[in-house]
Amino acid sequence: MLWLSADIVWAFYQLVLDVVPPIPSAADYLWLSAYGFLFYYLFATYKECKQKFKLGKKALIASVIGNAIFLCYIIVLTYNLSVITTSKGIEMFAVIVAYPILDSTLMIPAIAILIGFRNDPLSFTPWLCESLGIFLVAVTDSWFAVIVLASLVDQLWLSALFIAAHFLVVAAGLVWYIKLLIRYPTRYEVSKRKALTITSSISLTRRRIFKRKQTIVLALTACLVFGILIYPSSPLTSLFTKASSEVIKPPSDGKKIVTIGALLPLTGVGANAGESELTALKIAYKEINYNLSKSRSEIRIGLMIEDTRTDPAISLEKLQDLAAKGVRIVIGPASSAELRELQNYAKEKGILLISQSSTAPSLSVVGSNTFRIVPDDTHQAQAISRQMWNDGVRVVVPMWRNDTYGRELVNAVREDFAKLGGKVLPGHGYGPRTGDFFASLNRINFIIWSQDLKILNSIVSQAAGMYGADKVGVYLVSFGEVVPIFIEAQNQPKLSMVNWYGCDSSVASKKLVRNTEAALFAIKTKFVNPVCCVNNMNKDFTRVNTDIQKNITGIASPYAAIAYDALWVAALTENATAGTTHANDVNYLKKTLFEITNLHRGITGDLSLNEAGNRKHGDYDFWAIKQSNNSNSFFWTQYGIFHS
């Protein structure tokens, strides 16, 4: 029950509060407190089995020695990986080592009992499952050792596989117990019952059968109640599930139906923008169809929305699904890594992609089927370089996600900052780890970030020693991982002494303002982030942004309004080509889209594209985090503007 409560608390962190759980968290206290009951159960069982089966000491001694060696290794490794110079670092070290210590302590009696039951098949099987379950938990809680030693950062999923296997083997043991062990007496019980009469033995068997049926009925009832609570129409469903696709049918008053696709990051590290972009598309969908009806157009627009999870491979699968359904124009994908994966397929299948937020300069290809109604990152690099220079920074230490977006943006900043007379050091790139992490994976994730930030701290320390801390700045290119980075960065002393600068993907991050530790670090380091400037003086922008804000939590992503404009451009293109002799010609479709972007003024301003299909104009807003007066809450606020 304590572990179940811990799982519920963890789900509350991730699904309701939508924050990165701290270490230690309330869930950790529940998980750790449950070990006391498990100790009592296992050691009491061992004591009883020792008397019944006359267990020898060899198995116990071997188990103690094996687990002691394992623990010594894990504790020393964790100590070397941890930062123990701060109270937060000590807390994290204590929690991380507590789990393998407790797991190993449970393994000692479990192995001894398992050996004792080796000649009793009915009892041996469930105990084998229980021992294996404990072993899998121990492996999961210690998996960071394998990752660090073998550099298997991309194999975090194996730890999740082990924890899932733990639940399965424990369930298998319980099923065996319910189905067989409750019904039949053990060998020990049979030896004690030789004096029982046949009648009393039958009565005992009947009671066991009744207990077995009662247990099964109770389990089925619990599953039924849980199912009613969360599926399919319960309001709690939204807390436990996230739709991977959604089809919005067009109004029925049109003669021709046109479906436009949308590839959005509704989950994964880019989910911060996905929610508001989805809301913006739904608002645009209603307004577009209303205007088409009012203008007596024969076509009506439908939407087919797919969640890419901010994963290039999944994004390609979703585009293939849309292509199979005859979709010709797709809004998205959001990230440059996804767009790189999709470009060739879109060209091959004659599909137009209109990205609302992809900005990597290398994706600017003349003649491709890709259109981006945002400027590429050469403009963003100019904006952030000028801001750092104006703040007195003369040496920049970059830290970036090692993908298309991160590498190209950092390279662009290197060039622009050098033109101003500054210096950009080699810095540190990290492998982008995606998604939310369950318990043990969350702890592993923090350990890995600790190693990345140790490297960054060393570079910053050297730079600060040579040039002065006031002349050094850290430039971070990240997605949602900015939160664990900031939480862990507090444990590295030099990282709090310099200013930090971010990118467009960090702006309006809900998790960043909801996590007190991360938000305070952002304020302390004056964390400033540029994002493509939208024309917020436009009354239509104000109206749409207000509607978006009503339907989401947190502040709307600036890219939501751009997604709204993207759907308008797609719909107007489909409307302009419908019924023409060139309606099925992709080149004619592209030509029409170019013309519409040059003529149509969106709620974000001038949408004109250059010859490579990117937005021509690149003004940028700067955003930073502030703390509410007399409150422990935080919010994003506009810091300034850069005109290209």
Average pLDDT of the segment spanning 323-336: 94
Distance separating alpha carbons of residues 375 and 415, to the nearest angstrom? 18
Tokens describing residue 533: 């400037």
Domains of the chain by range and CATH?
A: 2-181 (no CATH), 245-375+536-617 (3.40.50.2300), 377-533+622-642 (3.40.50.2300)
Order across the sheet with 352-355: list the strands. 245-248, 299-307, 256-264, 329-331, 352-355, 370-372
More confident call, 319 vs 154: 319
Q: What is residue 502's DSSP assignment?
A: -
Tens of pLDDT, residue by residue over 452-487, are 999 999 999 999 999 999 999 999 999 888 988 998
**Quick one: pLDDT at residue 235?**
40
Please, what is the average pLDDT of the chain?
A: 83
Average pLDDT of the segment spanning 72-86: 82
| Peptide linkage before 232 cis (omega within 30 of 0) | yes
More confident call, 229 vs 43: 43
* Helix, coil or strand: residue 393: coil
**Quick one: pLDDT at residue 261?**
97
Does pLDDT of 512 surpass 80? yes
Tens of pLDDT, residue by residue over 526-554, are 999 999 877 666 788 889 989 999 988 77
* Helix, coil or strand: residue 75: helix
Does pLDDT of 102 surpass 50? yes
More confident call, 381 vs 235: 381
Q: What is residue 366's DSSP assignment?
A: T
Range from 177-186, 490-499, 634-643 carrying the lowest mean pLDDT: 177-186
Does pLDDT of 421 surpass 80? yes
**Quick one: pLDDT at residue 315?**
95
| Sign, CA torsion 157/160/165/166 | positive
Residues found in the chain: 644
- Distance spanning both ends of the chain, measured CA to CA: 59
Where are the alpha helices (H) located in 54-197, listed in sequence order?
A: 58-81, 87-116, 121-141, 143-150, 156-176, 187-192
Which pLDDT band, with edges at 50, 70 and 90, does 46 fall under? confident
